[in-house]
Amino acid sequence: MSQSPETYSEPLPPGDERVNVDVSPRGSLEMLSQLEVDSLRRLGHGSAHELFRRCALAVLNSGTTQDDAAAIFDRYDDFEVEVLQRTRGVKLRIRNAPAGAFVDGRMIEGIKEHLFAVLRDVVYIATEISDGKVFDLDSNAGITNAVFHVLRNAGVLTLTGNANLVVCWGGHSISRHEYDYSKQVGYVLGLRGLDICTGCGPGAMKGPMKGAAVGHAKQRNAQGRFVGVSEPGIIAAEPPNPMVNRLVILPDIEKRLEAFVRIAHAVVIFPGGVGTVEEILYLLGLLLHPDNADQRLPVILTGPAGSESWFESVDRLLVTALGEEVREFYEIHIDDPWAVAKRVAQGVKAVRQVRLQRGDAFYFNWLIDVPYAYQQPFEPSHESMAALRLTADAPKDQLVADLRRAFSGIVAGNVKDSGIRQVRERGPWELRADPALLAPLDTLLEHFVKDGRMKLNGRDYEPCYRLLR
């Protein structure tokens, strides 16, 4: 049964204590013009306020073992945050915040940094991205430019000339054994000067960062980057872990996935749940696209001894859906962190050479083609989930896009507030698949349920989906 590694290291205050406090910003929001201050103040009273309130609560709730967003929002329904205007900037007035974000009445500095990163990104998305005046969000190029600008505004993109950012994907609900393995992999990556980017949450998103931090320290590397990439729907279930020193919030899951792919110089994937498979499908669908034949991106799937069945189940689904050729785009390494690190280091060198030859930027892969179908936001509902075409005879691009959406919908039904409430009111999503896909899909999902990968700490799981022929 799965047990969250967070319970081993970060005890929280007993009971259900709440804290009221005013906090001033750190970093990029310390020095603002009056125009910028006014934009922030308007957020505190406008339509984006509830989005900011929920994201702020998620950050302040970091370190807990609760991944049910609806339960978190219900528990802290009296939580409030107000943007106060001052001549020299802004201050946040926070009421009824989780006590775990504070020590002796003072907010933990890392959490404060994440809180103001959320404010920065929510304001930027509300004022520069979502209204469609600057970026055409109905066009392929417009969406990619919006992703670039959010990342640049958050300080994620650098001009160091290095291509050393390893995106690590994996589950938030994993065993201690798997968590320790992800730390070992992170450690040997850190020894090689590689930085880490994850979905910013607990489990296999935190482990590689902790390991890499030790590797960086041994090499006296004080400039290590630990990038956390999130979006408003998932941040409550996967709040930023304390290792993240560059946090960015993208508007939705599709832009988050595009951000991962465009800033990655290598991808390492640990065992996880439906969210991890969603990420794998998105990535491999892109690499299989004919327009991306010249792309080079090392993809390594790895886990400790005992995780072999996870990779077998995932591999079977991938081959069934995408064909045998999909295996050309990834390697599987079991219980061998050093082999993983060596293959990643070799792959990163190849990525650098290709970027130089093609004149592409190191910090953002402009030349990888992301079809518009991959960029369109998918809103899970009973109707949209039932409409997905999960048939082996469907065009490959459509099948992988719809299969990714199916896993995205299950993620929403498991941990996102909107999805949880819809399933609670109307019952499980219904997914129809032909027999060829149904068998590996059913086997994989049953594997996740049995191993406790759907919920933190192996809590009782009631499936939010029903598979039908």
Tens of pLDDT, residue by residue over 375-397, are: 999 999 999 999 998 988 888 88
The total number of residues shown for the chain amounts to 469
pLDDT digits (tens, 9 = 90+) for 355-382: 999 989 999 999 999 999 899 999 999 9
pLDDT at position 76:
84
Choice among 109-118, 177-186, 231-240 with the minimum mean pLDDT: 231-240
Q: Is pLDDT at 37 greater than 50 in this prediction?
A: yes
Query: Which pLDDT band holds residue 8 (cuts at 50, 70, 90)?
Result: very low
- Distance, in Å, from the CA atom of 466 to the CA atom of 188, rounded to the nearest integer, reads 41
Torsional sign, CA 195, 197, 203, 206? positive
Query: In percent, how much of the chain has pLDDT > 70?
Result: 87
Q: Is pLDDT at 418 greater than 50 in this prediction?
A: yes
Set out the domains of the chain in order of their start, with CATH numbers.
9-134 (3.30.1850.10), 163-469 (3.40.50.450)
pLDDT at position 262:
97
pLDDT digits (tens, 9 = 90+) for 78-104: 899 888 776 666 788 899 998 888 998
Element at 442 (helix H, strand E): helix 435-450
pLDDT digits (tens, 9 = 90+) for 230-249: 998 888 778 888 899 999 99
pLDDT at position 264:
97
pLDDT at position 17:
81
pLDDT at position 67:
59
Q: Is pLDDT at 253 greater than 50 in this prediction?
A: yes
> Letter for the amino acid at 114?
H
Interval 119-134 mean pLDDT: 80
pLDDT at position 179:
94
Query: Which pLDDT band holds residue 1 (cuts at 50, 70, 90)?
Result: very low
pLDDT at position 64:
67
pLDDT at position 298:
96
DSSP 8-state code for residue 10: -
Give the angle subtended at the CA of 171 by the CAs of 180 and 341, to the nearest 5°: 50
Interval 211-227 mean pLDDT: 95
Q: Is pLDDT at 351 greater than 50 in this prediction?
A: yes
Query: Which pLDDT band holds residue 70 (cuts at 50, 70, 90)?
Result: low
Average pLDDT of the chain?
A: 87
- Distance, in Å, from the CA atom of 200 to the CA atom of 128, rounded to the nearest integer, reads 24
pLDDT at position 7:
38
Give the end-to-end CA distance of the chain in Å, rounded to a whole number.
30
- Distance, in Å, from the CA atom of 329 to the CA atom of 192, rounded to the nearest integer, reads 23
Interval 164-173 mean pLDDT: 93
Which residues, at least 6 apart from 141, have a Cβ–Cβ distance to it below 8 Å?
none
Query: In percent, how much of the chain has pLDDT > 90?
Result: 51
Residue with tokens 């997905």: 388
Q: Is pLDDT at 261 greater than 70 in this prediction?
A: yes
- Distance, in Å, from the CA atom of 437 to the CA atom of 396, rounded to the nearest integer, reads 13
Torsional sign, CA 303, 306, 312, 317? negative
143-147-152-156 Cα dihedral, nearest 10 degrees: -170
Interval 339-353 mean pLDDT: 95
pLDDT digits (tens, 9 = 90+) for 128-152: 887 767 888 899 999 999 999 999 9
- Distance, in Å, from the CA atom of 445 to the CA atom of 313, rounded to the nearest integer, reads 9
pLDDT at position 417:
83
Beta strands in 58-200 (DSSP E): 80-86, 89-98, 102-103, 106-107, 165-169, 195-198
pLDDT at position 362:
92
Residue with tokens 């390594």: 300
Distances (CA, A) of 173 to 6, 61, 269: 10, 17, 14
Question: Is residue 305 left, alpha or beta, with left meaning phi > 0 and alpha meaning psi from -120 to 50?
Answer: beta
SS3 89: strand
Residue with tokens 């990104």: 121
Q: Is pLDDT at 6 greater than 50 in this prediction?
A: no
- Distance, in Å, from the CA atom of 131 to the CA atom of 127, rounded to the nearest integer, reads 7
Cβ atoms of 59 and 235 within 8 Å: the answer is yes
